[in-house]
Chains A and B, each alone.
Chain A
Amino acid sequence: MTTRLFGQRVERVEDQRFLRGRGRYVDDVLVDTHAGTLHAAVLRSPHAHARIVGIDVEAVLDLDGVHAVWTHEDLPGPMAEPLPLLIPHPALTHGRTQHALARDEVNYVGEAIAFVVAEDRYVAEDAVDLIRVSYEVLPPVVGIDAARAATCAVHDDVPDNVGARMEQRNGDAPAAIAAAPRRISLDLMIERSSCQPMEGRGVVSRWDPDTSRLTVWSSTQTSTGVRGCVAARLGLDLDQVDVITPDVGGGFGVKINHPWPEELLVPMAARALGRPVKFTEDRREHFISSAHERGQVHHVEVGFDDDGRVLGLDVMFWHDHGAYSPYGLIVPIITATQLLGPYKPGAYRVRFESLFTNTVMVTPYRGAGRPQGCFVMERTMDAIAAELGLDRAEVRAANFIQPDEFPFDHGLVFQDGRELEYDSGDYPASLHKIKELIGWDGFPALKAEAAAEGRRIGIGLACYVEGTGVGPYEGAHVHVETSGKVKVAIGLTTQGQGHATVFAQIVADELGVPLEDVEVVSGDTRRMPYAVGTFASRAAVMSGSAVHLAAKAAKDKALRIAAEALEADVDDLEIVDGVVRVRGTDASLALGTVAVLSNPLRYAFDEASKLATQFVVGDPGKPPVAEDDEPGLEGRDFYSPQRATFASGMHAVIVETDPDTAEIRILRYAVVHDCGNIINPMIVEGQIHGGVAQGVGGALYEKMEYDESGQLQNASFMDFLMPYVTEVPGEIEIDHLETPSPLNPLGIKGAGEAGVIPGSAAIAAAIEDAEGIAITSMPISPSDLFALRSRKETP
């Protein structure tokens, strides 16, 4: 029997291309075809809030090499409408979206105003510099405090800057808190950060007049989403538009929002000019015109008993969603619901306001609202422990949902509109593992030892639950070619998660073929036009399940055909190394031959296909293809779960703070992670490593430094402090727990975002433990810590 590949540390198939420099990212498309590709550049607003009085593009058209320039008034038909509000919600009473090119008003520094297409990017940028715009500058709203104060408004017709108000409750939290023996309140804050994939956004498009078809290559997390928008705005039939997502240099959420203005403008220009057009975002553009996330302010009221058991939890928070709200309320809804983590408070109420500010819009960044929720819940747990003088781990244990309580319904509505019902988990087991891994119980002795040497060390712990694999669906197509090679298409996109490997593992197992015979294509609407996208840690769960089902369908068909050809019973057949065999006999048939037999032919095009022509196969008394059958050895299936599956985990960290400089150093970082059954542990660990690094970045380094006029002061890699190798723990100690999900055939839960979620919570707790100072705002720099120390000394 072939070794099962599911669960193995299989080396990645895609690396063979990447390591040789043969990846194909969007800026690489059409680079060597000499197809006369034109290049686009965008004029972006220098003001956070201004009325556009006039735009003069005359000088641009005199510039050699410029082909065209567009402003809002040049946009035809639906192109001139506001961009779609992708995820409407009844609570989003004042949703607003920008135009592909600003009409009359700009609401953040970086908002697109004009679009120039020229011979190359250099000339296009020269041209952008020649556009003269006169502005009437308006007072900007920067930050949550200013938005709440509402002295001025981002949008005239939303005077209080409130895009949405929402409340969810389970039980009567205020009453439960009032009746509780103990009560505390906390004010907590997390600042803005952003995804910053190493490859920014990019779009290439080519209009083919011979076939009346448009091809769009986009560095997106949803090819099908982009396709729908492009067709609608350009007035094309869906069938005329192909969207291909080539290799993507990281996404982390920012590329799930769509359509970005350039995703519409580039195809529009390509069609208008009859030449391929390319737009490649530069790093400054990524900082000021792609999305940010995280910024929230929370107020918590909690009532609990003497064991630390939470009787009532009441959270009010303010979410900064920037100038526009194209992605609806997904981020704050996730914060509101996933805040609960592995706990079951007696009663819960959460309210939020989603606020407009004159800053870059907010859409999901890896973790998508969860790091904030986790920070708030875990800081609350630590505060309860401090209040009661109890061990922080014990307080958490007292509040856990127990293994025999699954499925556990929180009585809330999750981001997908479904019940917030956890499918499975074992939180006490995770806590046991993380305490062992980090040496929780032995830490006080270590701390005392360090203190004796004049060193300050502290330990922190944070727990999270992550709803992964949300619907609505994903599909897969598995095609066995007559060569025996297996071609797999999935609809969602890939941006570094190793999909070409893990889905090949699943197919190879199911079909009984060697891994190297399986090729997986993702994110190409020509191959799989029905798909949703890569977000919410959903690819392994959704596409993994679909791939499994589609491979099973192909296998069932292969066995049926082979059984007939071999005159054997289906139940006696097995497929090993690409050969169908009758168990215990020599009778066999290569899978490629089965593929030949599956497609009755009139014409032989090679030696193999001679086996399938009309005088060779088939029962003359029956139609060559049975009524309920199709030609070809293929399987196609979709997976659509009723609700998300909930992964979980716990992080523990030990930090050292310098008594003089307040420098914060991570000494140890431990992770216990439960994402159900693991397809490829090497890849899951890689996801955890990367997530932890982003968590460390968010906890200690990364924030968007807006000044009061709405200028982003640190819009470069020089000034926005993304971790290098020197800023992350040298080793991350990982232990897995595998609690299968009962919701999908492979028992998988998602793993992509988990690593980032508890970072700020765990590190804040560790710093607090080292310093004896309450840490209520993240990220925290040495300067911030120094200021907190000074405040403590001179209250």
Chain B
Amino acid sequence: MAEVFRDDLHDVTLHVNGAAHDVRVPARRLLSDAIRHDCGLTGTHVGCEHGVCGACTVLLDGRPVRSCLMLAVSVADAEITTVEGLGGDDDSLGPVQQAFAECHGLQCGFCTPGFLTTITAGLRENPTPTREEATEMIAGNLCRCTGYQNIVRSVLRAAEIQAGEQS
């Protein structure tokens, strides 16, 4: 008979969008599952669970990571940003979110959180991307609905909005 792995539970504090979430999880709990099921932040979606589609992308200390490829217990010291943390304090849309609404950058909305987090980080690194750079920025995320043309447009529009806000 196969040996059954018995889960030891670990107390971890996850810092998500500026709030601390104390969770008790087994070591094998994926960060994506912890964010969704333990923190109740269901904006982060899981599309493949093998790190290819990018739907589960969150920002870890500002850097985009695949939360389905990380364990919750490994990120206790990090600041995590999910799609719920991309807007303004007054519930207004952030520049990337606003651009997606204007450019019809989403259809079913399932992959969208991963694009929004990825682009947010991308524009921090390169606030004025060319069309080619905008394409490169989203080249690791899958979308089955939009054909990507309007997502590239959204990246460029988000850069414009962001530049407008800063000037």
A: residues with CB less than 8 A from B are: 11-12, 14-25, 27-28, 31-32, 59, 63-64, 121-122, 126, 129-130, 195-199, 247-250, 252, 282-283, 495-498, 682-683, 685-686, 688-694, 716-718, 722-726, 728-732, 755
The residue in chain B whose Cβ has the minimal distance to the Cβ of A498 is B107
Q: How far is the CA of A88 from the CA of B87 in the complex (A)?
A: 51
Residues of A within 8 A of B108 (CB): 197-199, 247-250, 495-496
Which of B85-117 touch A at CB < 8 Å?
Answer: 87, 91, 93, 97, 100-102, 104, 106-113, 116
Residues of B within 8 A of A755 (CB): 147
Nearest-Cβ distance from residue B20 to partner chain A, whole angstroms: 17
Q: How far is the CA of A252 from the CA of B135 in the complex (A)?
A: 25
B: residues with CB less than 8 A from A are: 1-2, 4-7, 26, 28-29, 33, 36-37, 40-50, 52-53, 55, 82-84, 87, 91, 93, 97, 100-102, 104, 106-113, 116, 131, 135, 138-152
Q: How far is the CA of A690 from the CA of B141 in the complex (A)?
A: 15
Tell whether, in the assembled complex, residue A28 and residue B109 are in contact, meaning their CB atoms are under 8 Å apart.
Answer: no
Tell whether, in the assembled complex, residue B1 and residue A64 are in contact, meaning their CB atoms are under 8 Å apart.
Answer: no
Residues of B within 8 A of A725 (CB): 135, 138-139, 141, 148, 151-152
Nearest-Cβ distance from residue B51 to partner chain A, whole angstroms: 9
Residues of B within 8 A of A19 (CB): 83, 93, 97, 100-101, 106, 109, 112, 116
Residues of B within 8 A of A497 (CB): 107
From B84, B139, B142, B149, give the contact of A21 (CB < 8 A): B84
Nearest-Cβ distance from residue B89 to partner chain A, whole angstroms: 13
Tell whether, in the assembled complex, residue A21 and residue B42 are in contact, meaning their CB atoms are under 8 Å apart.
Answer: yes
Residues of B within 8 A of A25 (CB): 42, 45, 110
The residue in chain B whose Cβ has the minimal distance to the Cβ of A727 is B148
Tell whether, in the assembled complex, residue B100 and residue A726 are in contact, meaning their CB atoms are under 8 Å apart.
Answer: no
Residues of A within 8 A of B112 (CB): 18-19
User: Provided the pairs A716-B52, A732-B149 are in contact, do residues A11 and B45 lie with their beta carbons within 8 angstroms?
Assistant: no
From B50, B131, B146, give the contact of A689 (CB < 8 A): B146
Residues of B within 8 A of A723 (CB): 148
Tell whether, in the assembled complex, residue A31 and residue B50 are in contact, meaning their CB atoms are under 8 Å apart.
Answer: no
From A28, A122, A688, A692, give the contact of B26 (CB < 8 A): A122
Tell whether, in the assembled complex, residue A730 and residue B101 are in contact, meaning their CB atoms are under 8 Å apart.
Answer: no
Tell whether, in the assembled complex, residue B43 and residue A21 are in contact, meaning their CB atoms are under 8 Å apart.
Answer: yes
Tell whether, in the assembled complex, residue B49 and residue A282 are in contact, meaning their CB atoms are under 8 Å apart.
Answer: yes
The residue in chain A whose Cβ has the minimal distance to the Cβ of B101 is A15
Residues of A within 8 A of B82 (CB): 21
Tell whether, in the assembled complex, residue B144 and residue A692 are in contact, meaning their CB atoms are under 8 Å apart.
Answer: no
From A12, A249, A691, A728, give the contact of B45 (CB < 8 A): A249
Nearest-Cβ distance from residue A12 to partner chain B, whole angstroms: 7
Tell whether, in the assembled complex, residue A12 and residue B139 are in contact, meaning their CB atoms are under 8 Å apart.
Answer: no
Tell whether, in the assembled complex, residue B104 and residue A283 are in contact, meaning their CB atoms are under 8 Å apart.
Answer: no
Residues of B within 8 A of A64 (CB): 6
Nearest-Cβ distance from residue B5 to partner chain A, whole angstroms: 7
Q: How far is the CA of A147 from the CA of B36 in the complex (A)?
A: 45
Tell whether, in the assembled complex, residue A726 and residue B150 are in contact, meaning their CB atoms are under 8 Å apart.
Answer: no
Nearest-Cβ distance from residue A504 to partner chain B, whole angstroms: 15
Tell whether, in the assembled complex, residue A693 and residue B148 are in contact, meaning their CB atoms are under 8 Å apart.
Answer: yes
6 A-B contacts (beta carbon < 8 Å): A21-B82, A126-B4, A247-B108, A247-B109, A717-B47, A730-B149
The residue in chain B whose Cβ has the minimal distance to the Cβ of A719 is B52
Residues of A within 8 A of B144 (CB): 195-198, 250, 252, 690, 693-694, 722
Residues of B within 8 A of A252 (CB): 144
Tell whether, in the assembled complex, residue B83 and residue A20 are in contact, meaning their CB atoms are under 8 Å apart.
Answer: yes
The residue in chain A whose Cβ has the minimal distance to the Cβ of B155 is A725
The residue in chain B whose Cβ has the minimal distance to the Cβ of A688 is B147
Tell whether, in the assembled complex, residue B146 and residue A283 are in contact, meaning their CB atoms are under 8 Å apart.
Answer: no
Nearest-Cβ distance from residue B142 to partner chain A, whole angstroms: 6
Q: Is the interface of B mostly helix, strand, loop or mixed?
A: loop
Tell whether, in the assembled complex, residue B135 and residue A726 are in contact, meaning their CB atoms are under 8 Å apart.
Answer: yes
Nearest-Cβ distance from residue B23 to partner chain A, whole angstroms: 13
Tell whether, in the assembled complex, residue A31 and residue B151 are in contact, meaning their CB atoms are under 8 Å apart.
Answer: no
User: Provided the pairs A126-B5, A198-B111 are in contact, do residues A23 and B43 lie with their beta carbons within 8 angstroms?
Assistant: yes
User: Provided the pairs A31-B42, A683-B104, A717-B53 are in contact, do residues A18 and B109 lie with their beta carbons within 8 angstroms?
Assistant: yes
Residues of B within 8 A of A12 (CB): 101, 104
Tell whether, in the assembled complex, residue A496 and residue B109 are in contact, meaning their CB atoms are under 8 Å apart.
Answer: yes
Residues of A within 8 A of B50 (CB): 283, 716-718
Residues of B within 8 A of A724 (CB): 139-142, 148
Residues of A within 8 A of B111 (CB): 198, 249
User: Provided the pairs A282-B49, A717-B48 are in contact, do residues A728 and B40 lie with their beta carbons within 8 angstroms?
Assistant: no
Q: How far is the CA of A21 from the CA of B26 in the complex (A)?
A: 26
Residues of B within 8 A of A728 (CB): 147-149
Nearest-Cβ distance from residue B111 to partner chain A, whole angstroms: 5
Tell whether, in the assembled complex, residue B142 and residue A690 are in contact, meaning their CB atoms are under 8 Å apart.
Answer: no
Q: A14-B109, A19-B101 are in contact. List 6 more A-B contacts (CB 8 A).
A: A686-B150, A689-B149, A690-B107, A693-B144, A693-B148, A732-B149
Residues of A within 8 A of B152 (CB): 725, 730
Tell whether, in the assembled complex, residue A199 and residue B110 are in contact, meaning their CB atoms are under 8 Å apart.
Answer: yes
Residues of A within 8 A of B141 (CB): 724-725
Nearest-Cβ distance from residue B116 to partner chain A, whole angstroms: 7
Q: Top 7 nearest A-B pairs by Cβ distance?
A: A21-B43, A249-B110, A496-B108, A18-B109, A689-B147, A496-B107, A693-B147
User: Provided the pairs A250-B144, A496-B145, A693-B148 are in contact, do residues A21 and B41 lie with their beta carbons within 8 angstroms?
Assistant: yes
Q: How far is the CA of A63 from the CA of B140 in the complex (A)?
A: 39
Tell whether, in the assembled complex, residue A21 and residue B100 are in contact, meaning their CB atoms are under 8 Å apart.
Answer: no
Tell whether, in the assembled complex, residue A198 and residue B42 are in contact, meaning their CB atoms are under 8 Å apart.
Answer: no
Nearest-Cβ distance from residue B33 to partner chain A, whole angstroms: 8
The residue in chain A whose Cβ has the minimal distance to the Cβ of B7 is A122
Q: How far is the CA of A294 from the CA of B37 in the complex (A)?
A: 37
Q: How far is the CA of A27 from the CA of B100 in the complex (A)?
A: 24
Q: How far is the CA of A25 from the CA of B112 in the complex (A)?
A: 13
From A247, A250, A732, give the contact of B145 (CB < 8 A): A250
Q: How far is the CA of A15 from the CA of B109 in the complex (A)?
A: 8
Tell whether, in the assembled complex, residue B2 and residue A198 are in contact, meaning their CB atoms are under 8 Å apart.
Answer: no
Q: How far is the CA of A32 from the CA of B49 in the complex (A)?
A: 21
Q: How far is the CA of A496 from the CA of B111 in the complex (A)?
A: 11
Nearest-Cβ distance from residue B52 to partner chain A, whole angstroms: 4
Nearest-Cβ distance from residue A330 to partner chain B, whole angstroms: 22
Q: How far is the CA of A691 from the CA of B148 in the complex (A)?
A: 11
The residue in chain B whose Cβ has the minimal distance to the Cβ of A282 is B49
Residues of A within 8 A of B83 (CB): 19-21
Tell whether, in the assembled complex, residue B40 and residue A32 are in contact, meaning their CB atoms are under 8 Å apart.
Answer: yes
From B2, B41, B145, give the contact of A129 (CB < 8 A): B2
Tell whether, in the assembled complex, residue A59 and residue B2 are in contact, meaning their CB atoms are under 8 Å apart.
Answer: yes
Residues of A within 8 A of B150 (CB): 686, 689
| Residue with the greatest number of chain A CB neighbours at <10 A, chosen from B26, B83, B107, B116 | B107
Tell whether, in the assembled complex, residue B43 and residue A22 are in contact, meaning their CB atoms are under 8 Å apart.
Answer: yes
Nearest-Cβ distance from residue A269 to partner chain B, whole angstroms: 19
Q: How far is the CA of A793 from the CA of B5 in the complex (A)?
A: 59
Q: How far is the CA of A250 from the CA of B145 in the complex (A)?
A: 7
Residues of A within 8 A of B26 (CB): 122
Residues of B within 8 A of A693 (CB): 144, 146-148
Q: How far is the CA of A151 from the CA of B145 in the complex (A)?
A: 41
Nearest-Cβ distance from residue B102 to partner chain A, whole angstroms: 7
Nearest-Cβ distance from residue B112 to partner chain A, whole angstroms: 6
From B29, B33, B146, give the contact of A686 (CB < 8 A): B146
Q: How far is the CA of A693 from the CA of B142 in the complex (A)?
A: 11
Residues of A within 8 A of B106 (CB): 15, 18-19, 496
Nearest-Cβ distance from residue A40 to partner chain B, whole angstroms: 15
Residues of A within 8 A of B28 (CB): 122
Residues of B within 8 A of A63 (CB): 4
The residue in chain B whose Cβ has the minimal distance to the Cβ of A248 is B108
User: Provided the pairs A16-B101, A725-B138, A725-B151 are in contact, do residues A730 and B131 lie with their beta carbons within 8 angstroms?
Assistant: yes
Nearest-Cβ distance from residue B127 to partner chain A, whole angstroms: 20
Tell whether, in the assembled complex, residue B107 and residue A199 are in contact, meaning their CB atoms are under 8 Å apart.
Answer: no
Nearest-Cβ distance from residue B124 to partner chain A, whole angstroms: 19
Residues of A within 8 A of B7 (CB): 122
The residue in chain A whose Cβ has the minimal distance to the Cβ of B17 is A21
Q: How far is the CA of A126 from the CA of B112 in the complex (A)?
A: 31
Q: How far is the CA of A728 from the CA of B135 in the complex (A)?
A: 11
